[in-house]
Amino acid sequence: MKTKIFAAAAMLVAGTAFGATVQDVADRYMKSVLAVGVHDASYVDAYYGPKEIQDQVQKEKKGLAAIRADVTDALKDLEGQRAANEDEALRIEFLRKQLGSMLTRIDMLGGQKFAFDDETARLYDAVSPHYDRAHYMKLVGQIDKLLPGKGSVPERLKDFRAKFVIPKDKLKAVFDASIAACRERSAKYIDLPANENFVLEFVSDKPWSGYNWYKGNAQSLIQINTEFPIYIDRAVDLGCHEGYPGHHAYNALLEKALVKGKGWTEFSVYPLYSPMSLIAEGSANYGIEMAFTEDERLAFEQKVLYPMAGIDPSLAKKYAEVLKLTAQLSYADNDAAKNYLEGKWTKAQTIEWLVNVQLAPPEKAEQRIKFYDGLRGYVINYNLGKDLVKAYVLRHVTSKDPEVARQQKWDAFRKLLSSPRLASSIR
């Protein structure tokens, strides 16, 4: 009898409950993600687990009701699980949040609709703040003063931006240089896998500006959309966001630390519409600031990228000032998506807001509507995600010495990129 009691206690410490282990749940989670992907082509953003499992799931082609039942059972098996350390506790919470999010996505595929904030809370574990037009117009007023002249602020901004378009025949050279700089700066603080690499492609007719398709084994395909003009600042933005220390580095570190290091199979699959995306997009956007301080970025762009693109370097400082202000309008994107998706604004009203309030380039407003139609509340992951990641990182900075503080920031950032933390665990 004592032997049985001790064995049962040992099972609890190891993280088992009612016969199912956390690893059992992780394996079922991975299969469920793939099963949802059979019904939703955009759901599985990356998978690099065993091909036979993917083939089996595609052959089975479970219905949504059956998948939902599997996910519900997996959630029940997580109840009562005991974690021996912080990492295991984070793992259990990660699975719980991801599985819960999957239930919402399944319900949406079945036709259920949710209010914008309810949807993002369920899918991404976060809710964006919202502001009225007056809030943003105060910022637009500052840009008005920075760009005096005739015409509306959007018109003047459009004319000013036109000076910073990268010629198409120079795109590859500019992006190659930018990504190389992003990697060099990130590699000083992040121990990337020795074999990591990526392929860069230029594409068109996409609802996004750039995309990282992670292939596993520290390999990525990075695509840049050239359908619309690409401004010089996007080289660093996308180089860091899609590459280093953004999506490519994030996925490579998760694979290295959790899949290969711990055998946590759930991280060999990445469901796009899930809490993972808030951390992925947030860390990719904040990664730009991690790689470059404002002064470092200005110097790099002015001395390297501007001449390479044939753009006047003397304009770089003013352009940086304008971009700093327009970046503060980012939450207007969330408000546009919310009102449009909830049917409060027409397409025309939404485009008017994007152009006149968020000051988006007119030619990209239509593209943004396509993004809302396809990815819905995903928009919050970029700005809210960045703000949550930034706050998490800065909480770990205790030194006033700039170099020590920078090291502390990178230590916290690297820890985040190698862990199962989601929005709830970094607030």
The pLDDT value recorded for residue 16 is 41
Q: Which amino acid is at 224?
A: I
Tokens of 396: 């770990």
CA-nearest of 347, 427, 353 to 393 is 427
- Helices 275-291 and 116-124: crossing angle, nearest 10°? 80
> In this model, does residue 262 exceed pLDDT 60?
yes
- Helices 316-327 and 153-161: crossing angle, nearest 10°? 130
Q: What are phi and psi of 36, to 5 degrees?
A: -65, -35
The pLDDT value recorded for residue 6 is 30
The pLDDT value recorded for residue 295 is 97
| Contact status, residue 48 vs residue 216, Cβ threshold 8 Å | yes
The pLDDT value recorded for residue 156 is 96
The pLDDT value recorded for residue 15 is 41
Cis peptide bond N-terminal to 50, omega within 30: no
Q: Give the pairing of strands 44-47 and 20-21.
A: unpaired
> In this model, does residue 5 exceed pLDDT 50?
no
The CA-based angle 99-105-109, given to 5 degrees, is 145
Mean pLDDT across the chain: 94
- Mean pLDDT over 297-315 rounds to 98
Q: What is the SS3 assignment for 271?
A: strand
Q: What percent of the chain has pLDDT over 70?
A: 96
> In this model, does residue 14 exceed pLDDT 50?
no
β-sheet bridge partners, residue 214? 220
- Mean pLDDT over 139-154 rounds to 96
Strands (DSSP E) found in 79-230: 197-203, 210-216, 219-225
Cβ atoms within 10 A of the Cβ of 219, count? Answer: 18
Q: What band does 427 get if pLDDT is binned at 50, 70 and 90?
A: confident
Q: Give the pairing of strands 210-216 and 219-225.
A: antiparallel
Q: What band does 19 get if pLDDT is binned at 50, 70 and 90?
A: confident
> In this model, does residue 424 exceed pLDDT 50?
yes
> In this model, does residue 286 exceed pLDDT 60?
yes
What length is written for the chain? 427
pLDDT digits (tens, 9 = 90+) for 218-244: 999 999 999 999 999 999 999 999 999
The pLDDT value recorded for residue 363 is 80
The pLDDT value recorded for residue 80 is 83
- Mean pLDDT over 340-361 rounds to 97
* CA 47/CA 198 separation, integer angstroms: 16
β-sheet bridge partners, residue 223? 201, 211
Q: What pTM value is reported for the model? A: 0.93
Q: What is the SS3 assignment for 74?
A: helix
DSSP-derived secondary structure for 180-224: HHHHHHHHTTS---TT-EEEEEEE-S-SSSEEEEEEETTEEEEEE
The pLDDT value recorded for residue 9 is 34
Place of tokens 């089996």: 56
pLDDT digits (tens, 9 = 90+) for 62-114: 999 999 999 999 999 999 899 999 999 999 999 999 999 999 999 999 999 99
**How many Å separate Cα 378 from the centre of its chain?**
9
The pLDDT value recorded for residue 73 is 97
- Mean pLDDT over 281-294 rounds to 98
* CA 413/CA 425 separation, integer angstroms: 14
| Contact status, residue 414 vs residue 253, Cβ threshold 8 Å | yes
pLDDT digits (tens, 9 = 90+) for 159-205: 999 999 999 999 999 999 999 999 999 999 999 999 999 999 999 99
